Structure 1
Amino acid sequence: MSDIFNDKKKTLEKEPEEIESTIIPQYKKKNEETENKLSIIMAEFDKLDKEKETHRKFWHQEVDTIFNKLGSLMKSMKENLLAALNSHQSKIKNLIPNMTQTVQQNKEILKSNNVSAVTNYKSKLQEYRNMPTDIDVKLPSLKTNTVQGKELSLELGGYKASLTQTTLSSLTEEVSYLSLQKLLKQAKSITTIPTGVNPLYHVACVGVDEAWVSGGDNTIRRVDIHGSVRDTVTTTSKTLPTDIAVTRQGELVYSDVNNRTVNIVRHGRTETLITTPRGWHPDKLCCTKSGNILISMVTTDFSQHKIVRYQGHTVKQEIDRDEDGEPIYKGGEYALCVVENNNGDIVASDHNAKAVVVVNKSGSVRFRYDGTPARRKKSFNPAHIVTDSMSQIIVADINNACLHILDQNGQFLRCVDNCGLDNPSGVSVDSEGRLWVGLYDSGEVKVIQYMK
Structure 2
Amino acid sequence: MHCDTCLVNLCKACVGEHISTNESKDHKVVKYQVKKSTPLYPGCKTHIKERSEMYCKQCDIPVCNTCIASDQHLGHKFITILQILDEQKNKISNENTKLKETIYPIFQEIASDEQNRMSQLEKEYGDLSTAITKHGEDWHREIDKLVQKLKAEVDEMKITQLQTLQKHLDEINKTMSDIKDEIDAVNSTINSNDLSKLFGVKFNVDRYKKLPQKIVSSIPKFMPGKIQEKEFHDMFGDLTLSSLTSDEHYYSMKFSPPEPETVTTIDTGYEDLYNVACLSDEEIWTSGGDSTMKLYSINQGSLLKSIRTKSREWPTDITVTKSGDLVYTDSNDGTVNIVKNKKIKEVIRLQNWRPKGVCSTSSGDLLVIMDSYDDEQTKVVRYSGFTEKQTIQFDDQGNPLYSFGFYDRYITENRNLDICKSDEGARAVVVVNQAGKLRFRYTGHTPAPKNKLFYPRGITTDSQSHILTADDYNECVHIIDQDGQFLRYIDCGLSEPWGLCTDTNDNLLVAQVEIKQVKKVKYLH
TM-score by length of 1: 0.59
Alignment-derived partner of residue 421 in structure 2: 348
1:307-341 CA-to-partner distances (Å, cap 9, x unmatched) read 00000121111111111111010112112211111
1:235-294 CA-to-partner distances (Å, cap 9, x unmatched) read 111111111100011110001112111110112211111112x11111010000101000
Alignment-derived partner of residue 284 in structure 2: 211
Structure 1 unaligned residues grouped into runs of 5+: 1-171
Alignment of structure 1 residues 352-367 onto 2, 5 Å: 352-367=425-440
Alignment of structure 1 residues 3-22 onto 2, 5 Å: none
Q: Which amino acid aligns with 2:521?
A: I
More moved, 215-224 vs 367-376: 367-376
**Residue aligned with 1:420, SS:** coil
Is residue 258 from structure 1 mapped to residue 339 from structure 2 by the alignment?
Answer: no
**Residue aligned with 2:523, SS:** strand
How far off its partner does 1:301 sit? Answer: 2.2
**Cα separation, partners in 2 of 1:282 and 1:182, compared to 1, 3 Å:** farther
- Given candidates 287, 296, 312, the residue that maps to 2:369 is 296
**Residue aligned with 2:258, SS:** strand
Within 1, Cα distance between the matches of 2:256 and 2:272?
A: 30
1:169-225 CA-to-partner distances (Å, cap 9, x unmatched) read xxx9xx88x968977331111111111122101100111121001111111000111
RMSD: 2.0
Within 2, Cα distance between the matches of 1:401 and 1:380?
A: 10
Is residue 338 from structure 1 mapped to residue 407 from structure 2 by the alignment?
Answer: no
The answer to whether the 8 A contact 1:340-1:387 is kept is yes
Within 2, Cα distance between the matches of 1:203 and 1:449?
A: 16
**Cα separation, partners in 2 of 1:191 and 1:259, compared to 1, 3 Å:** same
Larger Rg: 2
1:118-137 CA-to-partner distances (Å, cap 9, x unmatched) read xxxxxxxxxxxxxxxxxxxx
How far off its partner does 1:400 sit? Answer: 0.5
Alignment-derived partner of residue 381 in structure 1: 455
How far off its partner does 1:373 sit? Answer: 4.9
Is residue 221 from structure 1 mapped to residue 294 from structure 2 by the alignment?
Answer: yes
Alignment-derived partner of residue 420 in structure 1: 493
Within 1, Cα distance between the matches of 2:374 and 2:402?
A: 15
- Given candidates 254, 274, 279, the residue that maps to 1:201 is 274
Moved over 2 A (4+): 178-185, 372-376
The structure in which a higher percent of residues are strand is 1
**Residue aligned with 1:324, SS:** coil
The answer to whether the 8 A contact 1:374-1:415 is kept is no
Alignment-derived partner of residue 184 in structure 1: 257
Within 2, Cα distance between the matches of 1:448 and 1:384?
A: 15
Alignment-derived partner of residue 438 in structure 1: 511
- Given candidates 387, 390, 396, the residue that maps to 1:323 is 396
The answer to whether the 8 A contact 1:200-1:438 is kept is yes
Q: Which amino acid aligns with 1:311?
A: S
**Residue aligned with 1:302, SS:** coil
Alignment-derived partner of residue 448 in structure 1: 521
Task: Tell me the percent identity.
Answer: 43
Is residue 400 from structure 1 mapped to residue 495 from structure 2 by the alignment?
Answer: no
The answer to whether the 8 A contact 2:366-2:386 is kept is no
1:351-393 CA-to-partner distances (Å, cap 9, x unmatched) read 0000011011111111011113554511111111001111100
In the alignment of these two chains, the number of paired residues is 277
Alignment-derived partner of residue 249 in structure 1: 323
The answer to whether the 8 A contact 2:379-2:392 is kept is yes
Structure 2 unaligned residues grouped into runs of 5+: 1-245
Within 1, Cα distance between the matches of 2:335 and 2:398?
A: 28
**Cα separation, partners in 2 of 1:309 and 1:180, compared to 1, 3 Å:** farther
